[in-house]
Amino acid sequence: MFYLFLKAAISGVIIAVVSETAKRYPGFGAMIASLPLVSVLGMIWLWRDRPDTANMADHAGATFWYVLPSLPMFLLIPALLRRDVGFWPALLAGCVLTICLYAVMTWAAPRFGIRL
């Protein structure tokens, strides 16, 4: 149980650091948020729980392919905000777009020989 609490606390600290930094320095906060910290921490936790190189390679490879459909969200949200769409609708649209693109990736990847 302590291990679960530790993982949650570290993850929460990262989110707090990003949000607090972004208040003063939006670009620097964005850079920190863009770092693959969650992916790296996830790989560390996964490796600690199951040190299996094949499993880790599959996980890291799938992470790459799932990052790609999330990127358009970071273009759509600022475009909508600059056109005076409210924050919540813009965020919702970005999330819906990402979910749709995840579905497309999940459907298309195996057809191109990509294991997710």
pLDDT of 1 strictly over 90: no
Written as one letter, the residue type at 20 is E
pLDDT, one tens digit per residue, over 40-85 is 988 998 999 999 999 999 999 999 999 999 999 999 999 999 999 9
Q: What pTM was estimated for this model as a whole? A: 0.80
Expressed in angstroms, the distance from the first to the final Cα of the chain is 30
Among 67, 69, 77, residue whose Cα is nearest residue 104:
69
